[in-house]
């Protein structure tokens, strides 16, 4: 695996009232991770398209939008049309995941698919290249600040094995409880893209925290 490691801070951990200033604090990030929740697919409500559009207009880094919403087939393309660099929908919320991924790519976004802790990844192994990113949730989606579920890393390893076997370019992302104490473990399992919330925004200097996380992940890959 190459040393290309992506750190995508989650704005769930940011100060929503000062969003523009918070975004300016993470200029060293690869993407900003934006969690869209509809209070149906998960028991929480966050941003809709208007807020995402404003974040898109003010963010110094591209948007990695994670849709925790029902009826992804209907709503996901709109986020790609807003200019998000990457749009990830849940496998559990799409009736035609491959068709949806192709539509997102057609609009110009990277297409990602996410799986909740209870969902296996076997159905994705044969269709890896239909996606640009596969997100393995390492917490139950819905709320920030939860503990990292290390038992989910076997899915990451399984996907990484298949990525290597096929020479696929798909990115493997983990989201949930990622911090200085868990990132190396996730990187060793084969993840290359990491969503970190409080580990970044809770730091005195978020850019320093991003650099430290990146170093830990790169070190784990080399190891």
Catalytic residue among 64, 132, 175, 192: 175
35 catalytically annotated: yes
Candidates 117, 101, 91; CA nearest to 174 is 117
Q: Rounded to a whole number, what is the distance in angstroms from the first to the last CA of the chain?
A: 11
- Give the 3-state secondary structure of residue 196: strand
| Strand ranges of the sheet holding 171-175, from the earlier edge strand across to the other edge | 6-9, 193-196, 171-175, 133-137, 110-115, 86-90, 63-68, 32-37
What lies within 8 Å, CB to CB, of 14 at 6+ separation is: 22, 23, 201
- Our CA angle for 23, 47, 179, nearest 5°, is 50
Whether 175 is catalytic is yes
Q: What whole-number distance in Å separates Cα of residue 55 and Cα of residue 38?
A: 18
For residue 24, give the 3-state DSSP assignment: helix
Q: Which residue in the list 30, 35, 64, 192 is annotated as catalytic?
A: 35
Which residues participate in catalysis according to the annotation? 35, 175
């Amino acid at each position: 695996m190459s040393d290309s490691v992506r750190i995508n801070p989650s704005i769930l951990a940011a100060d929503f009232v000062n969003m523009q200033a918070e975004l300016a604090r993470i200029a060293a990030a690869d993407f900003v991770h934006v969690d869209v929740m509809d209070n149906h697919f998960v028991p929480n409500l966050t941003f809709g398209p208007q807020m995402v559009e404003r974040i898109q207009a003010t963010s110094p880094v591209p948007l990695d939008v994670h849709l925790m919403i029902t009826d992804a087939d209907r709503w996901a393309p709109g986020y790609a049309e807003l200019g998000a660099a990457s749009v990830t929908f849940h496998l559990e919320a799409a009736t035609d995941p491959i068709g949806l991924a192709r539509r997102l790519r057609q609009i110009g976004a990277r297409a990602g698919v996410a799986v909740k802790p209870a969902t296996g990844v076997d159905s994705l192994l044969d269709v890896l290249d239909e996606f640009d990113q596969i997100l393995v949730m390492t917490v139950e989606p819905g709320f920030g600040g939860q503990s990292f579920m290390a038992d989910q890393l076997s899915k990451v390893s399984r996907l990484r094995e298949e990525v290597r076997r096929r020479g696929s370019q798909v990115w493997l992302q983990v989201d949930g409880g990622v911090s200085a104490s868990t990132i190396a473990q996730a990187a060793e399992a084969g993840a290359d893209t990491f969503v970190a919330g409080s580990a970044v925004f809770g730091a005195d200097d978020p850019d320093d925290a991003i650099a430290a996380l990146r170093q830990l992940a790169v070190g784990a890959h080399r190891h």
